Every structure is written in structure tokens, then in C-alpha cells.
Amino acid sequence: MPRFSKAVASLRSSEIRDLMTLASRPDIISFAGGMPGNELFPVHEVEELYRTLDIKKKQSAFQYGPTSGLPSLLESLEGFLEKKGLPVKDNKLLITTGSQQALNILAKAFIDPAEPVLVENPCFIGALSAFRSYDAELRGIPVDRDGISIEGLRQEIDRNEKAKFLYITPYFHNPAGVLYTTERKEQLIATLQGTNIPLIEDDAYGDLYFFEEDIERLKPIKAINPDGINVCYTGSFSKILGPGLRLGWMLVPENIYAKCELIKQSADACSPSYTQVLADAFIRSGQIYSYVASVRQEYKKRAAAMVSALREHLPDYVLWNEPRGGFYIWLTLPEGADATRIMTLAIEGGAVFVAGKTFDPAGRQNNSLRLSYCNNTPEQIAQGIPIVAGAIRNICG
């Protein structure tokens, strides 16, 4: 028998990935994956942009590139991020192979085996997987409708063994759908200052807001640029162009960047030049802004369809927040309810979602579930939600 490392021995397949095969069945309505709708991708626009590129640019798309990213994309992406107020001139930008690689690189940069890492509870499963792969001790801090619990954060900070970093997804949280309030972010900043605990701020969904009045709340902590905190900001083209490009980024202080670039060199040498050329052309054409504005409205329509269906079909004992952006609605069931049993019954009826324990750092709490509306038409949502609601009533009464 081969002798695998302890880190590999602890890895488990993501329940969401396991559900993807099931979700591809034509008889199943999937509320499981956080995938953009295929019909929404700007296929023709990107084809036209590529056609107009000169031959040297097209040749470079087939070549190796610098580990940090193609200079042209770094330049155009800096402009894109500057529009959000991000301090690109005072930090270093690194192109990654999806934001998942950014999380993996940061995890490798900071974590030694058995060291504590602070995460939200519930938490993005990709982050949990990345941190577990380096044998971190995951310490979950509850999330409410305003953001991470400040009391819970203070309790963790006061423990003897200092956490290596705090990871948060403040903008249309995956999976809870929460948009942090400005006040909660200010409290978070004040709590972290002076602790020497870096902050990883994951902003995969912030561009997908539904209401203009939320724009101020969407200002990244990295843009606030608070004194005394090393903020590592990560983002992705996956939700604003296409996940198949496998392109993300991190904007980090220079001393952290130096380690991260070395780690990326050892992982894949460089992210795909071909898709970097496409992303650069899409930004420079200005179409990224009109495209994001259009899909923002489509996701708003799909979210409204799910909200309408939930209001009509869910029993009163199920709690949930109406989404203000992003991809997800988080349902909280009565204490002791088993979302996995509900999911099994829903699958029999023709719909699937993700059970809550998938997002619990301890893998235990299961009286909740995540519904994704991004990959379904309003008609599919209207058809699928009664199946989910029926399964909930069947198990919970």
C-alpha cells in the first residue's frame, strides 16, 4: 500500500461535487451548484473580441506567461479594481487559476499542521477544503444577518493560541447569502486591529448586487485599507464572465505577495494565457461593465422567482433571508431537523439542494440547507421549490 501524507489522508470529496453528476440528470431540477446559467455567457461577444485581436496577441495566448499574470491583464484588472476603490498601487496583484487557487496559496503560505484558522459558520466549502488540505484546525464563528459574530470573534482572539488568519465572505455570503452591514465591518476592523491576525476577504459575488442603495455596503475592507491589518483580497472572473476561464486574483501586501508568487510557481508556473488574453480584451472593451449589469438583472429576476415560490410553499417554521445579490438563499429549519433526509426525499421527487452540514467547519450542524437560483429559469424554480417544500413538510411536519 502507498503511504500517503497525513494531509491527503484527511481530504474528503466535496458533497457539492458529488451532487454534480446527479444534478446533470435531465429529470432533476438542481438548486445545488453555484454555477452561472450557460445561456447567460457572453459567447458571441468574446468570439468577436478574439477575432479582432492581432496575430501577436493570439500567439501569446498559446504561450507560457509570467507567474504573476500577463502584464496586459494585470494592467486592465488594476483599472477594474481601482473603480471599486481598491488600493492597487500600495499592494501587489497576482493572477490565480480561479479564486480557489488563491485560497489554496494563502493557506499554504500561512498554515502549519494543527494550527488554528478562523472561519465563518457556515462557510464556503472550497475554503474549508483548502484549509483542511494543510491540516488546519478550523474554528467556526457564527454568522447572523449582519455578518460574523463580533462576540464570537473576540472569544477566539482571546484564546491562548493565536489564529493564523480570519477568512470571510462578506458580500452575498456563500452559502448564507448575507451582505455584511457597514457597522459590522467597522466592528470587525476594530476587533482585528492590534491582533496581528491577517484577514482573507473573499469577494466573488460583490458585483452581483440587486439594489443600488447597497453600493456603500459593498465597499471592500481592503478598499477601506485599515491600519494594522494585513488584508488579503481575493476575487474571480467565474461569476462575472465564466468559471471555465479558471481565472481569479489576489491583491495582497507586498511581503505576503512574495511568498505567494513562489508558491504559485511550484503549483502551476502560470495561469492559462489563453483565457487571460480573453479576460483582458473583455475588460478593455468595456463590455465587462454592461455584461455584469445585464446578468445582475437576470439573477435578480431569478431570485425574485425563488422568493415568490418560497413564500407560497414553505411552512412558517422555516426561516430565511431575502437575497440582495449573489446566488444563494439559506433556509434554517427547526432544531434537530436533518437536511440530508430532506434532500434524499427531494431527490426522489426530482429536485436537489445542498445540506447545511456541508458548510459547517465541524460537519455536524444540519438543520439548514442552501438553495441556488442562479442556474435555473423562473419556470424551473416554480416547478422545483414545491418539491423541496414538500420534502421539508414530510420530514419536519
CATH number of the domain at 161, please.
3.40.640.10
Is 55 within a domain? Answer: no
Query: Do residues 38 and 88 share a domain?
Result: no
Query: Do residues 72 and 25 share a domain?
Result: no
CATH number of the domain at 346, please.
3.90.1150.10
Is 54 within a domain? Answer: no
Is 58 within a domain? Answer: no
Query: Do residues 12 and 141 share a domain?
Result: no
CA-CA distances (angstroms) from residue 58 to 65, 67, 241, 280?
Answer: 13, 19, 20, 12
Is 53 within a domain? Answer: no
Query: Do residues 331 and 348 share a domain?
Result: yes
Query: Do residues 212 and 297 share a domain?
Result: no
Query: Do residues 334 and 274 share a domain?
Result: no
Collect all residues with Cβ–Cβ distance below 8 Å to 295 and sequence separation of at least 6: 36, 40, 208, 240
pLDDT of residue 134: 96
Query: Do residues 293 and 246 share a domain?
Result: no
Looking up cell 413564500 gives 311
Rounded Cα distance, 244 and 266, in Å = 22
CA-CA distances (angstroms) from residue 231 to 15, 165, 266?
Answer: 30, 10, 24
Query: Do residues 69 and 95 share a domain?
Result: yes
Query: Do residues 220 and 321 share a domain?
Result: no
Tens of pLDDT along the chain (397 residues) come to: 788 777 776 666 666 666 666 666 778 999 998 999 999 999 999 999 999 999 999 999 999 999 999 999 999 999 999 999 999 999 999 999 999 999 999 999 999 999 999 999 999 999 999 999 999 999 999 999 999 999 999 999 999 899 999 999 999 999 999 999 999 999 999 999 999 999 999 999 999 999 999 999 999 999 999 999 999 999 999 999 999 999 999 999 999 999 999 999 999 999 999 999 999 999 999 999 999 999 999 999 999 999 999 999 999 999 999 999 999 999 999 999 999 999 999 999 999 999 999 999 999 999 999 999 999 999 999 999 999 999 999 999 8
Considering the entire predicted model, what is its pTM?
0.95
Interval 207-228: pLDDT, tens: 999 999 999 999 999 999 999 9
- DSSP letters spanning 83-146: TTT--GGGSEEEEESHHHHHHHHHHHHH--TT-EEEEEES--HHHHHHHHTTT-EEEEEEEETT
CB atoms inside a 10 Å sphere around CB 264 = 25
Query: Do residues 260 and 301 share a domain?
Result: no
Query: Do residues 150 and 115 share a domain?
Result: yes
Interval 159-189: pLDDT, tens: 989 999 999 999 999 999 999 999 999 999 9
Looking at the 3D structure of the chain, how many domains does it have? 2
